[in-house]
Chain A
């Protein structure tokens, strides 16, 4: 750690004397993994930009990626170099921050198979890279993990982890914990069996792979597996909670975030919804889909698991981020993870054992009633179930109250900043559809704005009191990540292209800047070689919500893009496509 780093850490400790304690991790002003740190707080200790001067923020420089699909990645900043991973074809750019305008140092092109574009369910996005020990690690859409020398841009290794021919793809941002690159697959829509894997960071050799379905030996459940709730105990639940051998194609992919607690030596991640059948076809709890796992990073061994949503039928993946916090709740110091789920609840879970401490709603929810804290089981509202029937006004919609877009936590305010959606949907099993010449009956999914008429929202959540402190409405789904700083400024972007700075205390708008295309990426904060604080974000609308613009979907068909177009048919009026990095600083 550098001197600057120690100083930052010291300031940081002083600042966190408040009720909420963040997991202690040094901050040297760099941004070495998508979620900023192992705890996934997306909190920067930099405080040059504050609530008083944020209004003076100016554009410092820009960089065009030359691509037009959804840009979801977080730039990395390591050793005065910025690294940007693009959507397909997953180009890695290295930009020299020591020179004016940050010219390109090198570019690395992994050349993923073009066919992988057809496999991606929801636009051909990539959520970013991780830096570790001189290398940049990231995934390509055609199911490979690559390691690239951070200085030279030369490929160190690449490992093929799956088969795009079978519908697998990769979009998530890895982390590197204890020398293992942790990566997971996407593609639950195509009959893929979900997994998370640990690769040796030096060689790319696959050290372990843990499936989300199937017998315990495949899920890496052994004698040390101690889930908190009774319903998670018993042998081979990954087989027994499925009909027949449906578990072999049961989904539960790991397409999103991984966090890590070095003290407990546990990684945490959530698995996606079950697939590929509709819910009628897969009776049972369908373990271990929609589940949070705690595993050892070196071996993948499962230590505990909590299934957030047994037998999911609303497409409520459990993949959202797990932000690791040390909180004082009801007089007790608890090591928790905060997980704002697709189902509309912020789960505060004891990360040592998987006990749910609270699970209150942060948006409008009618599909479920409550989570029973004694059994851990969610109570589904029977009037809002889906199936081969018409069900109206189900909230939240399949992208959930929040999809992949990651929240940020400030230890100074003690609040979790959650950019999210406000969408409901109706479902009718009537529409004819077809694949490869074969007709069938499609589920007609139409999404629309939830109560209030706004499709997005930013909520500041108190994880101790389990309630919202403030909310800001957004016309469109807030599909970008959040970042927050010690200057008490919280940043996020909107799909109509506004990059915004809010006062972290009250949500007041401090500053905004209109970028070229809608923002669906993860903003980051870093210290430049000149000692100044910078805020960077990729613009470039896309992703599931933005595919209506970036994919050129016919908006006459409200059920295209898995039902999202109906809710987003006017997006083309607000924004056009195109990937561009924007970097801001004070004058």
Chain B
């Protein structure tokens, strides 16, 4: 895009007035540990942290996670911020990432599987639960198909049935119920439900972190509409200032954190990560 077009977008786009004002955050009303209508998710808490720091009034705009989320939220100007997007997501302007997590294996502790490698031979004998992301590539789905294990895969919806509580968690329920031997799940979701599960669960980060160029570790950030640079800068400053608080919230929710990474992070996540990983 030419620079002139960019400046036009800037002028036409929703300008966030730093200082007093309202920060509208699009969030899923029913998707713990990320967010819910009762404000119980870590995205709810992080949004509050950031809004408070900026002296803004926080307003949640509830929007389910079906197709076209960016289109229906930021692009339609329903809200100013989307929480918890991959930092490299092309359709938004992303803040500096505030955490880095990984896909994990989840199994019942009483199975004593102790699995951590995507190359583990035993996977060929197991039924493996993963989330469906459509024509796109769920990293575990790609690896399992490369290993010729498509027939072992049981797919669970990431959209789920709206009437039920936290629909993506059906995959964790399947582990507990024994419908699958093991699940390969995005870390924050697994970490939280393992923390709250009556049946003790084993959660281990997958290795390697990259499987033949496919990443299993992602840096997560907040997203604003492309070109809304003023809001982006304000969010980055707030994340920086409240770094310790942000990390504490992530710790509370059992988010498995992965230290390091090439991208700049809003603060050093590694200080807390060992505790979170050992959780």
Contact = CB atoms under 8 A, between A and B. Distances in A.
Interface of A: 115, 118-119, 121, 163, 165-167, 189-191, 243-246, 249, 275-278, 280-283, 315, 388, 429, 431-443, 551-554, 556-557, 559-561
Which of A115, A167, A435, A441 has the most C-beta atoms of chain B within 10 angstroms of its own C-beta? A435
A118 B67 contact: yes
Contact of A429 (B90, B91, B137, B155): B137
Given A118-B67, A432-B87, A437-B189, 12 more contacts: A115-B64, A190-B159, A243-B150, A243-B153, A246-B153, A246-B155, A277-B135, A281-B142, A435-B65, A438-B158, A551-B71, A560-B68
B65 A436 contact: yes
Given A277-B141, A561-B71, A552 B76 contact: yes
A560 B70 contact: yes
B181 interface: no
B161 A163 contact: yes
B272 interface: no
Contacts of B188: 437
Contacts of B146: 280
B88 interface: yes
Interface of B: 1, 9, 28, 31, 34-35, 43, 64-72, 74-76, 84-91, 131-139, 141-142, 144-146, 150-155, 157-163, 168, 186, 188-189, 214-215, 218, 220, 225-226
B86 A189 contact: no
Given A432-B86, A554-B226, A442 B66 contact: no
B263 to A, nearest CB: 12
Contacts of A315: 135
Given A121-B67, A440-B137, A560-B68, A277 B155 contact: yes
A556 B1 contact: yes
B150 A244 contact: yes
B134 A276 contact: yes
B153 A281 contact: yes
20 contacts: A115-B64, A118-B68, A191-B134, A243-B150, A244-B151, A246-B150, A249-B132, A277-B132, A277-B141, A277-B150, A281-B145, A437-B31, A437-B43, A440-B133, A440-B137, A441-B214, A442-B137, A556-B9, A556-B226, A560-B68
A557 B158 contact: no
A78 to B, nearest CB: 36
A189 B136 contact: no
B75 A554 contact: yes
Given A119-B66, A166-B157, A437-B84, A432 B89 contact: yes
Nearest to A118: B66
A180 B168 CA distance: 38
A546 B203 CA distance: 45
Nearest to A249: B155
B135 A275 contact: yes
Nearest to A563: B135
Given A167-B159, A443-B137, A552 B150 contact: no
Given A190-B157, A276-B134, A437 B66 contact: no
Is chain B's interface secondary structure helix, strand, loop, or mixed overall? mixed
Contacts of B28: 436-437
Nearest to B32: A437
Nearest to B158: A435
Given A438-B131, A552-B71, A432 B88 contact: yes
Nearest to B31: A436
Contact of A282 (B84, B88, B150, B225): B150
B67 A442 contact: no
Contacts of A166: 157, 161
Contacts of B131: 435, 438
B142 to A, nearest CB: 6
Contacts of A436: 28, 31, 34, 65, 158-159, 168
A165 B163 contact: yes
A226 B62 CA distance: 52
A119 B161 CA distance: 11
A431 B135 CA distance: 13
A441 B135 contact: no
Contacts of B214: 388, 441
A244 B75 CA distance: 39
Nearest to B162: A165
Given A388-B142, A553-B71, A559 B134 contact: no
Given A118-B67, A388-B137, A429-B137, A281 B89 contact: no
A389 to B, nearest CB: 10
Nearest to B166: A436
A77 B154 CA distance: 48
B85 A434 contact: yes
B153 A275 contact: no
Contact of A118 (B64, B84, B144): B64
**The 9 nearest A-B residue pairs measured at CB:** A118-B66, A557-B91, A244-B151, A436-B65, A432-B86, A243-B150, A437-B34, A554-B75, A165-B161
A245 B180 CA distance: 13
B157 A560 contact: no
B70 A554 contact: yes
A561 B74 CA distance: 15
Contacts of A439: 85-86, 186, 218, 220
Contact of B142 (A119, A249, A431, A441): A441
Contacts of A118: 64, 66-68, 72
A442 B155 CA distance: 17
Given A246-B153, A433-B86, A560 B71 contact: yes
B186 to A, nearest CB: 4
A437 B44 CA distance: 13
B154 A553 contact: no
Given A244-B153, A552-B75, A554-B70, A440 B161 contact: no
A442 B161 CA distance: 23
Which of A278, A432, A438 has the most C-beta atoms of chain B within 10 angstroms of its own C-beta? A438
Nearest to A188: B134
A244 B130 CA distance: 14
Contacts of A561: 68, 71
Contacts of A189: 67, 134-135
Given A166-B161, A439-B218, A554-B225, A434 B89 contact: yes
Given A281-B141, A441-B215, A556 B91 contact: yes
A115 B138 CA distance: 25
A244 B89 CA distance: 33
B47 to A, nearest CB: 13
Contacts of B72: 118
Contacts of B76: 552
Contacts of B151: 243-244, 246
A53 B136 CA distance: 52
A20 B246 CA distance: 73
Nearest to B65: A436
Nearest to B64: A118
A287 B54 CA distance: 56
Nearest to B27: A437
Contacts of A190: 134, 157, 159
A432 B134 contact: no
Contacts of A437: 28, 31, 34-35, 43, 65, 84, 168, 186, 188-189
A246 B220 CA distance: 31
B215 to A, nearest CB: 7
A434 B155 contact: no
Contacts of A163: 161
B193 to A, nearest CB: 13
Nearest to A189: B134
A441 B139 contact: yes
